[in-house]
Amino acid sequence: MYVLSAHYWEQAVSSISYHHDWHQLILITQGTVALTVRGEEILGTEGDLLVLGRFEEHALRALSPDYKRYLLCISADAPHGGQEDRLLSALITNRAAGFRRVISLGEGRQEVEALFASMVLECERRDAYGAEMADLLFRQLLIVLYRHAPALFEDRGPYTRLSDGVRRRLERDYGERITLSSLAEEFHVSPSHLSHLFRAVTGYSPIAYLVNVRLSEAKRLLETSDLSVKEIVFRCGFSDESNFARTFRQRTGLTPVEYRRAARSRR
């Protein structure tokens, strides 16, 4: 399933910097918000669609008390099979030159807002085949957005296919020992060429993306399992406990043990 959750929020809350293991689309229906991603602050206002990709560190700051929005969380497994799927999913997965994080919908707002509202309804009612219906509505949303602004859906042909292949490899085999050189050999390109193309499409180097995948899985295991930190380090492909603990704390502000304790206190 692609649509993990869909909500409509009226609380004008602000957040500290954080990231998710999924993609997000935020449709602002009222008010103004400041979005900070990788140190860059962008303003979004009524009728704007904000696009946030998996792993992207971000913070939101409401600039008006009447900030209201739809929030759509999309699985990392969003459509990426055939050419049409790759093209449609490019909006949320690709960060090629010219990518716009804030999309002003203009006259297309009403149609887009209706699709968001329908996805919220399907997620809340939990009727038969509700998840499947939400996925169909999400695909319809991507088509509507493509018709509204096709330039946002850049498909760089073989570059995108190469990036998708590398991304799937990293997401599937994160526990293995993977280096830039081994990836380049596997995909029959030079290390520098692979790194350049992958960053051009995703915004990350292959190794930075791999670390994000490993950290995401480590957090899931800390939250849901009784595995020791040492076992999690091994399963997630980190070289040693000290390296894992240092990286984990840099990204989350907590040690792995503190993160596990905090996650369990929220249950």
Over residues 84-105, the pLDDT tens digits come to: 566 677 778 777 666 778 899 9
Return the axis-axis angle of helices 83-93 and 158-172, rounded to nearest 10°.
70
DSSP state of 47: T
In tens, the pLDDT along 132-176 reads: 999 999 999 999 998 888 877 766 666 777 888 898 899 999 999
pLDDT for 81 beyond 80: no
**Domains detected in the chain:** 3-152 (2.60.120.280), 158-265 (1.10.10.60)
Distance, CA of 142 to CA of 33 (rounded, Å): 23
% of the chain beyond a pLDDT of 90: 53
For 157: left if phi > 0, alpha if psi spans -120 to 50, otherwise beta; the answer is left
pLDDT of 83 reads: 57
Over residues 182-193, the mean pLDDT reads 95
Distance, CA of 161 to CA of 76 (rounded, Å): 16
HSE (CB half, 13 Å, CA atoms) of 144? 20
pLDDT of 16 reads: 62
Q: Which of 69, 64, 62 is nearest to 48 (CA)?
A: 69
* Amino acid in position 59: A
Q: Which of 29, 21, 17, 28 is nearest to 5 (CA)?
A: 21
